[in-house]
Structure 1
Amino acid sequence: MTDQPTLSRAQRATTSAVSVGREVQGRIYRAGVFGHRPAVPVEPAALERAAERAMSRQAWSYVAGSAGQQRTARANVEAFDRHRIVPRMLVDVEERDTSVELFGRRLPAPLLFAPVGVLEMAHRDADLAVAEAARQLGLPMVLSTQASVPMEQVAARLGDAPRWFQLYWSREDELVDSFVRRAEQIGSEAIVVTLDTHVLGWRTRDLDLAYLPFARGQGIAQYTSDPVFRRLVAERAAAGPSGEPTPRPTAAAVRALVSMARHWPGDTWGNLRSPLPRAAVETFLDVFSRSSLSWADLAYLRERTALPILLKGIQDPRDAALALDHGVDGIVVSNHGGRQVDGAIGSLDALPGIVEEVDGRVPVLFDSGVRSGADAFKALALGARAVLVGRPWVYGLALAGARGVREVMEDLWAELDLTMALSGVGGVEQVTRDLLA
């Protein structure tokens, strides 16, 4: 099927000019007259099933899997069922505005591309495909520290679309400094510090496969492209072997070494004879994140950037209060899509208490469990200023690259617009808690 025309950036900026929902819906139905269907399934469960068939077992386990018995991931989705929309009638919603303002930028919709790492496991174009979709839609992309493509290349593909940078706080403060400088240089409009992954959660599906992509050099492009990290790698390689015995080589070990060589800059064959690729993986595993991080450390980051600082991973109102006390500019209510603590509170269940604690002093964003535009509507009604979307567009990426990413986010945006219309709402600011039972 050839690409159908989509809304222009100008039209998206002023949604009263044309309904996003009607435009997307009409385009799909018109194409259906000629026997064409969407590139990716619109129905969320069908999208997930199709992506599972398309992805390798390792990729599917990493992307779709969560911690332990997957209870938190289920809690995220089930929390939406406990809130029901109560539509209002006979309201003039002929013209609707899905736009929202965040940190001085008017966004065409309250939707952001959540930071997702190791996208090469889903599609060879990885972060570049997501950047292309974000550019076409004009929606912000939150670039991941664990990206498969350096941030500078992703920024070039983004064009003038907004971008934020998600920071995993390394054990090496000098590396943190370098990441922040680079994020500023590529035009990032905010720094999102992920708090809940200072160690990896107990991810049973990955453990059963004994597969960690970073141990094979995947998802560390921000590091291998960084001058500070490369210096640390060179110092480690110069120090020579650790002295630990080397296990007998296996076919799997050879494949892992080839993967490391491919992911280190330069010629793969030359890298196979170099100690640097393996040293890079070992260095990454050593410096990835800090469990000693405390509230006092936020002052360190504030001294190094004037960009807005958001904290991602807040689930307790007491932590929201501490965040305000330490001068953060925004909060992302998130449990990492259920990937860190099994049996934790569903993210949507945590949202109202945090919104109440914050009381409008800084924007509260929402992440974890959003699968549809109706889900986004509910999160907005409970007080979120905007919503971060993750797994659904990764599934679209696996199925159809940039086009799949775009269609998934466009579908979600269209459903949000139509849900607003059918609920008697003409603007995002009118999506309030009294619309929920």
Structure 2
Amino acid sequence: MNSWEGGQCAEMAMVCLTDFEKYAKEHLSKDTWDYYSTGADECYTRDDNLLAYKRIRLRPRVLQDVSESDTRTTVQGTEISFPIGISPTACHGMAWHEGETATARAAEALNTCYITSTYSNCSVEEIVAAAPDGFRWFQMHIFHSRDLSEKFVQRVEALGYKALVLTVDMPYFGKRRDSLLKQSTLPPHLSLKNFDGMLPEHETSVPGKQVTPSRAIDPSITWKDVHWLQSITSLPIIIKGILTKEDAELAVEHGVQGIIVSNHGGRQLDGTLATIDALSEIVGAVKKRIEVYLDGGIRTGSDVLKALALGAKCVFIGRPVVWGLAYKGEEGVREVLQILKDEFRLAMTFSGCRNVAEINRNLIQFSKL
């Protein structure tokens, strides 16, 4: 049973993101919950994304006059109200009947960045129509058909998307055991609308059969394909899925505008570094030449503070957004974002920081836990 079935969901006191997680687990169908929550293989990396934050301690400063605080920051030159955006996650329609249009409205209301997934149940046109003043980036792949990729670029440029987020850690799909057992099926009433009329029948998602058109993704791409992408667009290109300083240095050399430190929520290669553990070496390699962001494991405002102290410009959340949708659609996502914003403001001021610019590496100490 989905959370919107049978009338409006019961009112609950949602205090933290864990409350939304519990609600989603109880109210989503088991297949849907497993699809969102599963990681690759033994789920070690998925779980370590969260545990890694507990190995980091904060060193707060006191008597700093934090009577006023400011959570605003910028990403790629655009101001957002707090350094927490929405990661590209597929198939929001499985959690809430309005799908990504609800997510887009929530991001617009909170004035933050929403990275729209290629694999949305709503089309990019529907998403823009639902939140015309929203700040959006578009997550994409380079497909076997370069023409298909180019058509996506042209569509989102025309719609006012502000950057392209190229996912580079998914030449193939990770071995997600729960999804394999269930064939990653979409409910019959849903489809991947961005692909409507764009793929041959044998490559496209078939409702009830396959969540993503996996055959379309080209596993042979290299840095030369990043140059190709740069040649067909004037939008900033953000590379999502980098975990090493070697690849971070190559990203700078190849002229991209940003990196999202990401292990795909632990859904691709199990046993990789937690993203917060990979962050420092990437920030060190980049040397402030391009912006560095992070996703994976963010569950509290203190987690956000730790990531910024280690050099992230902004963090992005994925699964918690789906939990918010499952709870109450747009309103649920707003609540998730607002709770994180409020927790971040508290963590920032308790640490003696009046604004985001004052957050620095001196706030951090690694524990042996």
Same fold (TM over 0.5): yes
Q: Which of the residues 219, 223, 226 maps onto 2:195? A: 223
2:328 aligned with 1:355: no
For residues 61 and 221 of structure 2, the distance between their equivalents in structure 1, rounded to whole angstroms, comes to 47
How far 1:46 sits from its partner (Å)?
Answer: 2.9
Distance 1:414 1:213, change over 3 A: same
2:299 counterpart residue number: 371
2:50 aligned with 1:77: yes
Distance 1:431 1:282, change over 3 A: closer
Q: Which of the residues 132, 141, 150 maps onto 1:177? A: 150
Contact 2:16 2:339 (C-alpha < 8 Å) held by counterparts: no
Q: Which of the residues 58, 70, 84 maps onto 2:31? A: 58
Equivalent AA in structure 2 for residue 96 of structure 1: S
Percentage of matched positions with identical amino acids:
35
2:194 aligned with 1:191: no
2:78 aligned with 1:150: no
Distance 1:214 1:176, change over 3 A: farther
For residues 202 and 365 of structure 1, the distance between their equivalents in structure 2, rounded to whole angstroms, comes to 26
For residues 126 and 220 of structure 1, the distance between their equivalents in structure 2, rounded to whole angstroms, comes to 11
More helix by share: 1
For residues 40 and 203 of structure 1, the distance between their equivalents in structure 2, rounded to whole angstroms, comes to 33
How far 1:191 sits from its partner (Å)?
Answer: 0.3
Deviating beyond 4 angstroms after TM superposition, the runs of 4 or more aligned structure 1 residues are: 37-40, 214-219
**Alpha-carbon displacement from aligned partner over 1:178-222 (angstroms, at most 9, x marks no partner):** 0000110111110000111121100011123x2313696855211
How far 1:43 sits from its partner (Å)?
Answer: 2.6
Q: Which of the residues 64, 69, 88 maps onto 1:91? A: 64
2:111 aligned with 1:138: yes
2:74 aligned with 1:101: yes
2:183 aligned with 1:211: yes
For residues 155 and 37 of structure 2, the distance between their equivalents in structure 1, rounded to whole angstroms, comes to 30
How far 1:104 sits from its partner (Å)?
Answer: 2.0
1:286 counterpart residue number: 215
Contact 1:193 1:309 (C-alpha < 8 Å) held by counterparts: yes
**SS of equivalent to 1:84:** strand
2:255 counterpart residue number: 327
Contact 1:58 1:211 (C-alpha < 8 Å) held by counterparts: no
Contact 1:313 1:334 (C-alpha < 8 Å) held by counterparts: yes
For residues 106 and 97 of structure 2, the distance between their equivalents in structure 1, rounded to whole angstroms, comes to 15
Deviates more, 1:161-170 or 1:349-358: 161-170
**SS of equivalent to 1:68:** coil
For residues 330 and 249 of structure 2, the distance between their equivalents in structure 1, rounded to whole angstroms, comes to 39
1:49 counterpart residue number: 22
Distance 1:383 1:55, change over 3 A: same
How far 1:44 sits from its partner (Å)?
Answer: 3.0
For residues 180 and 48 of structure 1, the distance between their equivalents in structure 2, rounded to whole angstroms, comes to 34
TM-score normalised by length of structure 1? 0.78
Distance 1:195 1:215, change over 3 A: farther
For residues 36 and 69 of structure 2, the distance between their equivalents in structure 1, rounded to whole angstroms, comes to 35
Unaligned runs of 5+ in 1: 1-36, 238-255, 261-277
Q: Which of the residues 308, 317, 337 maps onto 1:389? A: 317
Contact 2:17 2:336 (C-alpha < 8 Å) held by counterparts: no
Equivalent AA in structure 2 for residue 294 of structure 1: T
**Alpha-carbon displacement from aligned partner over 1:277-317 (angstroms, at most 9, x marks no partner):** x9xx7993431x11101111111100111010000000011
For residues 92 and 131 of structure 2, the distance between their equivalents in structure 1, rounded to whole angstroms, comes to 16
- Report which of the two structures shows the higher radius of gyration computed on alpha carbons: 1
Contact 1:332 1:366 (C-alpha < 8 Å) held by counterparts: yes
Equivalent AA in structure 2 for residue 293 of structure 1: I
- Aligned CA RMSD, in angstroms, stands at 2.2
Equivalent pairs, count: 356
**SS of equivalent to 2:14:** coil
Unaligned runs of 5+ in 2: 1-9
Distance 1:318 1:69, change over 3 A: same
**SS of equivalent to 1:357:** helix
Distance 1:317 1:374, change over 3 A: same
